[in-house]
Amino acid sequence: MVEPLTSARLSDIRAFERDWAALRECASPWCDTERLLKLFPAVDWHRLLLLAEEHGVPGQLAACLNDSNAPAVPAEIKQTLVENRRAQNFLTLRLTAELFRLLQLFSAQGISALVIKGPVLAAQAYGDSSVRSYGDLDLLVRQPDIRRATELMIGSGYQAAVSPSAIDAGKIPGQYLFSKPDAKLLVELHNDLTLRYFPRPLPIEDFFARQILVRLDAHEVPAPSVEDELVLICIHGAKHFWERLSWIADVAGLVLRQTNIDWERAASSARRVQAEHLLHAGLHLAVDVLHAELPEAVSSRMRKDTAAAKLAARVLRWLPAAGYAPPGLFERAAFRLRMRGSFLAAPAYLLRLSLSPTEEDWQARSKVSNNRFLDGLRRPFRLARKYSRSGKN
């Protein structure tokens, strides 16, 4: 029986180095069959499967192993992969149907929304909704529309994590979360106020102005431009310290399959929110971890960004552990400072993140605090308690 993937085991890459190398190869859109066949004989199949699940890439692993050149896969592993993919297919169908319903509901009330990540990213980066694992829907909605959107969601049977009264009080959460526990449906609404990890506020009107239509199951849904989506997922990955291979695979897949990316527009989108380092760090990881191939001009610009290279190098230290050996509190703070890049702006960025309360700070014990000053002071202490723990959160 394979030794379980514990924090102690995952903090030591030597314990599963071959499995990690094989998983990276399987998750790469530039998979090298010869290199993969050399790795497979020494792979522990159970551990490879567990590692794929922890990193959110079981769909990529299944797609790779379905290749005719792949070696024989143990029957129980193959069965688990088939069952996982079937479950993801059913979940995808349910989420996509709910997405169409919500977009129609919002549109009827004059509420504009853009679909981010989820099914749109699955279509754009993989061309197959069953390959990318996701379990919720993310929509970009303007802040003035949040109150009405919340009422619509509640009227549709959803439970709102942020109440209308909290919205009226001006509370800004990390996201406006809605759930239907019985139906296992989760929906998150975001905007320029909730996406606080952008170094500068997201220019939401620009995102809406540059929106495109993405085809999903014979429907077309509104989404950010590919260039804006690329910047968004690179900032999202940095927000989570790039602890999962799936976020890097999204960047690599988008770069490979969206051959018409306007790289100057992507650079401009990143520059507008002062996230050039974050975009380049995401591209660095796609290249270093998954063998992504970039246009020479883009690659040259990326290599010249020393701040991005340092960010990517730090990520490589904890990435294999999939969050089981996370960076410590001070290392997290150092990473946040590097995310901002500028020597003068970085401390202000870290201070803003440390003192901007979310629902975890102002919604303790099911009661909404009315003291914003105390909420802000409470936040760094809560973060210190949360991230001083070892192991996966």
Query: Which residues on neighbouring strands pair with residue 105, listed in sequence order?
Result: none
Rounded Cα–Cα distance for residues 120 and 252 (Å) = 15
Whether residue 204 is predicted with pLDDT greater than 60 in this model: the reply is: yes
Q: How confident is the model at residue 1 (pLDDT cuts 50, 70, 90)?
A: very low
Kindly give, in sequence order, each residue whose CB lies less than 8 Å from that of residue 124, ignoring residues fewer than 6 positions away: 214, 226, 229, 253, 254, 257, 258
Kindly give, in sequence order, each residue whose CB lies less than 8 Å from that of residue 313, ignoring residues fewer than 6 positions away: none
Nearest C-alpha neighbor of 188 from the set 238, 243, 150: 150
Query: Which residue shows structure tokens 């522990």?
Result: 44
Query: Stretch 168-172: mean pLDDT, rounded?
Result: 91
Rounded Cα–Cα distance for residues 303 and 312 (Å) = 11
Q: What pLDDT is recorded for position 11?
A: 55
Q: 225-277: per-residue pLDDT in tens?
A: 999 999 999 999 999 999 999 999 999 999 999 999 999 999 999 999 999 99
Q: What pLDDT is recorded for position 368?
A: 66
Q: What pLDDT is recorded for position 389?
A: 57
Whether residue 2 is predicted with pLDDT greater than 70 in this model: the reply is: no
Could you tell me how far CA 368 lies from the centroid of its own chain?
28
Whether residue 306 is predicted with pLDDT greater than 80 in this model: the reply is: yes
Rounded Cα–Cα distance for residues 19 and 69 (Å) = 18
Q: 49-97: per-residue pLDDT in tens?
A: 999 999 999 999 998 888 656 667 888 988 998 898 899 889 999 999 9
Nearest C-alpha neighbor of 188 from the set 239, 146, 219, 218: 146
Which domains are assigned to the chain? 7-86 (no CATH), 95-224 (3.30.460.40), 326-393 (no CATH)
Q: How confident is the model at residue 391 (pLDDT cuts 50, 70, 90)?
A: low
Query: Stretch 98-121: mean pLDDT, rounded?
Result: 97
Strand bridging mode 176-180 / 185-190: antiparallel
Kind and range of the H or E run holding 59: helix 58-65
Q: Yes or no: say if 255 and 227 are a contact pair by the CB < 8 Å rule.
A: no
3-class SS shares of the chain: helix, strand, coil, % to 5: 60, 10, 30
**Rounded to the nearest 5°, which phi and psi values hold at 196?**
-80, -10
Rounded Cα–Cα distance for residues 340 and 351 (Å) = 12
Mean pLDDT over each residue of the chain, to the nearest integer: 89
Q: What pLDDT is recorded for position 178?
A: 98
Q: 313-359: per-residue pLDDT in tens?
A: 999 999 999 988 888 888 999 999 999 877 678 888 888 888 787 87
DSSP 8-class letter at 241: T
Q: What pLDDT is recorded for position 366?
A: 55
Share of the chain above pLDDT 90, in %: 64
Q: What pLDDT is recorded for position 42?
A: 86
